Amino acid sequence: MRTGIAHLPLHGGKAPRWLFVRMERLAREITLIIVKEQGTRNFLNKLSDPFWFQAFGCVLGFDWHSSGLTTTVCGALKEGIKETSSEIGLFVCGGKGGASRKTPSEIQAIGDKRWINEDPSKLIYASRMSAKVDSTALQDGYGLYHHCFIFNQEGRWAVVQQGMNSENRWARRYHWLGEQVQDFVCEPHAAVACDQKSQVLNMVAKESEDCRQISAQLSMEEPSKVVAEFDKIKKLNLPAHHPVNLADIKKENFKKILEKTYTQKPQNFEALLGVQGVGPKTVRALSLISELVYGKPASFEDPVRFSFAHGGKDGHPYRVNRKVYDQSIQVLHDAVNQSKVGHTEKLKALQRLYEFY
């Protein structure tokens, strides 16, 4: 399921080199301890929790209220464990911008090295579909620019991805946990964190089930018939709540995509999303026809439910103390090394501290 969405103000810039190097080291030591004590499966569960991920970023010294926490934490984790990934059976692919588009090839490369017990094509599909859902099926005004796909040797996976809205200067982070995915396109949310709601087209809501079915059926209809229905809609006065601007949808492009779907005959909405070229505008047009012609509306309920906050880099709530940061890295590093030869006292102390917290 998609386990959460975080909402963060959009900040520019990047972490200073002195901090990012330390973030890499501390992320590695924390990861090694969790993997040793609880396994990679449990670590994936933690990453899929938007609260835990936010706290993880704060421990690493980043700002609780910055969109950069997502990209920087994922980058630090990827760099921090890359030398030990094959040893611990945990892999991080993707990243920000151009790096996100390399995710399929990175997954395939790991599969080619026989480091995983799963068919890499299944993981590649999960990566692509989770991104397609959050960019096309849930249209909340946030364009994806960061996609991080994390998986273990057994093929269990989690996704941390983020979109930005340049108009309101906010970013949203989307969390997925692959272990519980049964249906990519029906109620993937378990928890959503956000400071404000927006006007959305939510095609993955339970209430959108009929609309999803009609949209998939329309995609297999003769294109000119569907376009004719769309022409009728353009003459109607749409309700104010509908987040669809008909001026954005060009009939010529819509017909071209329908010709492709008519040929490929996607059998359901998930298959429709997987057709190359089917994007937000196509889904919006089909949802409109479904609602106004067939009486099967989509949901416009924003999945956002609550917000959270924690605290670093820019001095909030206080500036990063480099000496203390380095001591934290050293304590965890020593604990991991000593545990390898049977000295688990520090690890047990850390566990007691966690239980007390």
Would you say residue 295 has pLDDT above 90?
A: no
- pLDDT over 50 (residue 327): yes
Question: What percent of the chain shows pLDDT beyond 90?
Answer: 45
Whether 185 contacts 137, CB under 8 Å: yes
What does the pLDDT look like over 252-282, one tens digit per residue? Answer: 899 999 999 999 999 999 999 999 999 999 9
Helices 40-47 and 17-38: crossing angle in degrees, nearest 10, is 130
Q: What is the pLDDT of residue 306?
A: 36
Supply φ then ψ for residue 118, to 5 degrees: -120, 150
Q: State how far the Cα of 155 lies from the Cα of 139, in Å rounded to an integer.
A: 29
User: Model pTM greater than 0.85?
Assistant: no
Q: HSE, CB side, 13 Å, CA atoms: give it for residue 27.
A: 28
Mean pLDDT of 110-117: 95
* 211 pLDDT more than 80: yes
Q: In what order do the strands lie in the sheet with 2-9?
A: 2-9, 170-177, 157-165, 143-152, 90-96
CA-based torsion, 49, 350, 41, 326: positive or negative = positive
pLDDT, residue 14, reads 73
Residue 312 confidence (pLDDT) above 50: no
Q: With 0-12 CB in 10 A as exposed, 13-18 as middle and 19+ as buried, what is 265?
A: exposed
CA distance 317 to 276: 46
For the chain, where are the alpha helices, taking DSSP H only? 17-38, 40-47, 50-59, 68-81, 85-88, 103-112, 120-132, 209-218, 223-233, 251-264, 269-274, 280-292, 322-339, 345-356
Which pLDDT score, from 0 to 100, does residue 137 have?
93
Residue 357 has pLDDT above 50, yes or no: no
**pLDDT, tens only, 125-138:** 999 999 999 999 99
Please answer whether residues 317 and 311 qualify as being in contact, where contact means their C-beta atoms are separated by less than 8 angstroms.
yes
Helices 280-292, 251-264: crossing angle, 10 deg rounding = 90
Show the CA angle centred on residue 192, arms to residues 188 and 198, nearest 5°. Answer: 100
Region 51-75: what's the mean pLDDT? 81
Decide if 335 contacts 350 (C-beta within 8 A): yes
What percent of the chain clears pLDDT 70, i.e. is strictly above it? 75
Angle, nearest 10°, between helix axes 17-38 and 50-59?
Answer: 130
The size of the chain, in residues, is: 357
The distance in angstroms from the start CA to the end CA of the chain is 28
User: What is the domain partition of the chain in residue ranges?
Assistant: 2-200+304-320, 206-292
Considering 69-73, 231-235, 266-270, the range whose residues carry the highest mean pLDDT is 266-270
106 pLDDT band, cuts 50/70/90, is very high
Average the pLDDT over 332-354 and give the result: 60
Contacts for 180 with CB less than 8 Å, ≥ 6 apart: 1, 190
Mean residue pLDDT of the chain comes to 82
Looking at the DSSP bridge assignments, the partners of residue 148 are 94, 160
Q: Which helix (H) or strand (E) holds 2?
A: strand 2-9
Q: Give me the long-range contacts of 219-223 (CB less than 8 A, separation at least 24).
A: 219/258, 219/261, 219/262, 219/266, 219/272, 219/275, 219/278, 219/286, 220/261, 220/262, 220/265, 220/266, 221/258, 221/262, 222/262, 223/255, 223/258, 223/259, 223/262
pLDDT tens digits for range 168-208: 888 888 999 998 888 899 876 545 555 556 678 889 888 99
How far is residue 191 from each of residues 50, 105, 148, 322, measured CA to CA in Å? 8, 30, 19, 34
Segment of 213-227, 311-325, 343-357 carrying the highest mean pLDDT: 213-227
* pLDDT score, position 205: 87
Structure tokens at 230: 């769309």
Q: What is the pLDDT of residue 342?
A: 54
Kindly state the average pLDDT of the residues 327-346: 64
Half-sphere exposure at residue 137, Cβ-oriented, CA atoms within 13 angstroms: 31
